[in-house]
Structures are given as C-alpha cells and as structure tokens.
Structure 1
Amino acid sequence: MNFVSSSRLLGAFALALVFSNCAGMGGSRSALPRLMVQRLDWMDDVALAKSVKKMPIHDPKREAELLAAMTQRGVAAGLQAENVRRFFSGQMEAAKVVQEEWLQRHPHGLTSYVMVPDLSKTIRPALDEIGNKLIQQLALQARRQSSQEEALQILSRARKRLKRAGYSDAVIAPAIEGLQAGLTLVPCDAEPLKPGGNAPPKGGYPFRFSALTGKKDIQPQ
C-alpha cells in the first residue's frame, strides 16, 4: 500500500464514499461480516508469502503505518478516528492470529510446490480494496443512524459467519471486539458480546453514540 498522504486524495476518497452508496453491496447487515471474512481469508496467503521470504508475522512499523492510513481514510469519510482505529486494530489482531495458526500448522513451510502470491502486487492491493469497502460500510451505517438492535444483529451475524468460515475463538474475539467499536451505536466501553449474546440490556442502553460526532445522546427511559 502507498501511504503517501494527500488532502486531494483524501477529499476524492470521501467524495467517492458519499456518491457510491456502496454500489453492489446493498448496505445489508451482512456486508460488514462478509468483508471481515474476506479480509481474513487472505491471511493464509500472507503467512505463506512471509514464510517464504523469512518475514516476521509482527511488523510494528508497517502495522502502525497501515492503522494510520486507514484511520485517516475513515476520518475523511466522516467517522470518528478512535472508532476507526479500534475497528481496524481488531481486524489486524485477528489477522495476525490467523497467520500464527498457519505457521503452527506448517512449522517448516509447505513441502509441495505452490504458487506463492506476491505481497506487494497481489495481496496488499486486494486487502487495500477490502479495507476501503469496510470503511464505506462503516460510513453507511453511520449515515443511516442504524438502531442499536441493527448494530447488535450485525455483530451476531459477524460472529456466526466467522464461525462458519472455520475461524477459531482466538481469531473471532478481537475481530468482534473491533467491530463493536466500529459500530458506534453500541457503547464502545461496553463489554464485548459473548458467544450467542445478541441482545441489549433490558430496556435498551440508556444512551446511544452519535455515529458522526462520537458523543453520547441520552435516551428517554
């Protein structure tokens, strides 16, 4: 990914988000969960490519650059920086767990010949595109002022989709926690949803987060 910062590029990115209306994705409750799984589905290839090149799974410098870039794009789309940062932090942590699990299954790499995808030319551009679509969906949810019930349904669907895709609890936990932070209608300081938990407290939360300002609005009881 090219991390060059440009106000012109960010402006164009934000404009594209406004007018795209997430064409072809429909803004359904399944869009975010589907994209999260798509991103994780690349991580075996990432682990393979890193293994061949003797690269470490953890690269703090690159991770910080990527997180800053995605946060900047999220802000350009009208989202709160902290919510975007926490969302992608969760997805990146889940991605590292997938890579670590691949290395545990293949401690000596692959013994048979396989085509190794290129990190720079193939994998990272694909992940960059998925990242942009994730921001689009987060921005769409924010502009729609989705209800708490809808946000909780998205969380529940994400957990179920990740389970069906075969990901471990160690992968699912940070991914869901990040999603909960990204869906600003669910209090970011609330406990992460437990497996099977998809209902708010009785009577609902006493406040909701404004998706675009990040402030709490007190709800009538």
Structure 2
Amino acid sequence: MYQVLLVVGCLIYFPAFAQSVTALSQTVNQRLAMMKDVAGYKAAQHLPVEDLAQEAKVLLSAQAEANKLGLEPDSVRPFIIAQMEAAKAIQYRYRADWLAQPEIGWQLRPLTEVRLQIAKLSSEILQQLAQRLESGPITAEERGAFVKELNQLNLSEGDKQHLFNALLLVKPKH
C-alpha cells in the first residue's frame, strides 16, 4: 500500500506504513513526556528513580496485552524494557538538574493520575505497534522517521537509538 504526495508537480510515492511508525513514535514521545512528573514526585517523596516492583508490573502487563493484540510477548519485552530504561534516564537527568537548580513555577501532578495516563499511552503504543506490524516488519529505513519524533528534554541520541533497535525486534505471533 502506498500513499501519494504531490510536490511542485512531482509525484512522490512512499509506503503508507511510514505514517504509523511516526504515530507510534509520537505516542512513545508522549509517554516519555510524563517522566518529568514521575521524577518530580519521586524527588519530593525522597524515593529512588528505580522501582523494580513497578517495572515488573508494567512489563508483565505489557506482555499480556501484547499477546492479546497478536504480538509475540517475548519479542515485545526488549522494547518495553528500552522504554523503561529511557524513562529512568530522563528521570535521573531531571533530578541531577534539579540538584543544581530547582525548577521554579512548575507544578507536578499526582502520581496516580500520571501512572493512569502512562498506562493508557502504553496500551496505545502496543495497539499502534500491532497495527503497524500487520503491513510487515519494521525496517531499518524507518529509523529516521521514528527517531525524529522523539524530542523529549533529557532523552539522549543513544536512548533514541536503543528504543528503535528494540522496536526492530518486535514480531507478530505466528
């Protein structure tokens, strides 16, 4: 399936699935945007960034949902872990910045509200991923479109590449 774009009298054909990789990346970006609130809550409560019990719950829930959506749960695991690692990296970087200069005028939201939104976005990510894989595997050529949308403060280029590399591993169930 192809979409057609008319640019100054020239027709350009590009795969329709490129948009779904962009949409997927935008949703991942929205999920990562929630990490400032998570970092703020944990800092205010003197809690560590790493919460292994919460991570285990997120991973189990995501793999179960992936299975229901027709994705191979074991193949989704590295992508879920990569998202959690990127989320922790963002939180650590915010907290390091706040040690030197606390943020003025910013109000953090309640953690329960934030976690509900994170869970909703996580579900959307898996749904978009399952839909995208219906048209074939994600390819290395889609890296640029995916990475371009990831623009969170405190998300490094290495974090972005790690996310995409893990995304390449996701497979549908046979």
TM range (shorter): 0.7 to 0.9
| d(CA) in 2 for partners of 1:55, 1:91 | 20
| d(CA) in 2 for partners of 1:94, 1:100 | 10
**In structure 2, do the counterparts of structure 1 residues 132 and 72 end up closer, same or farther at CA, with 3 Å as the change threshold?**
same
Residues 125-160 of structure 1: CA distance to partner in whole angstroms, max 9, x if unpaired? 11111111111111112223x255xx3343321222
Gaps of 5+ in 2: 1-18
Please say if residues 67 and 85 of structure 1, whose CA atoms lie closer than 8 Å, have aligned partners that are also in contact.
Answer: yes
In structure 2, the partner of 1:101 is 93
**In structure 2, do the counterparts of structure 1 residues 103 and 37 end up closer, same or farther at CA, with 3 Å as the change threshold?**
same
- Following superposition of structure 1 onto structure 2, how do residues 1-221 of structure 1 map, counting pairs within 5 Å? 28-107=20-99, 110=102, 112-120=104-112, 122-144=113-135, 146=136, 151-162=139-150, 164-166=151-153, 167-182=155-170, 184=171, 211-213=172-174
Higher relative contact order (CA 8 A, sep 6+): 2
**In structure 2, do the counterparts of structure 1 residues 112 and 87 end up closer, same or farther at CA, with 3 Å as the change threshold?**
same
TM superposition score normalised by structure 1: 0.64
Amino acid aligned to 1:174 = H
| d(CA) in 2 for partners of 1:124, 1:147 | 30
| d(CA) in 1 for partners of 2:55, 2:143 | 25
Two-structure CA RMSD over aligned residues (Å): 2.2
TM superposition score normalised by structure 2: 0.79
Provide the secondary structure at the position in 1 that maps to 2:21: coil
Please say if residues 38 and 114 of structure 2, whose CA atoms lie closer than 8 Å, have aligned partners that are also in contact.
Answer: yes
Q: Percent identity?
A: 25
Greater percentage in strand: 2
| d(CA) in 1 for partners of 2:144, 2:59 | 25
Please say if residues 32 and 137 of structure 1, whose CA atoms lie closer than 8 Å, have aligned partners that are also in contact.
Answer: yes
| d(CA) in 1 for partners of 2:80, 2:173 | 17
**In structure 2, do the counterparts of structure 1 residues 83 and 147 end up closer, same or farther at CA, with 3 Å as the change threshold?**
closer
| d(CA) in 2 for partners of 1:58, 1:119 | 15
Amino acid aligned to 1:139 = A
Residues 80-136 of structure 1: CA distance to partner in whole angstroms, max 9, x if unpaired? 01111111111111111011111111127736354221111x211111111111111
In structure 1, the partner of 2:13 is none
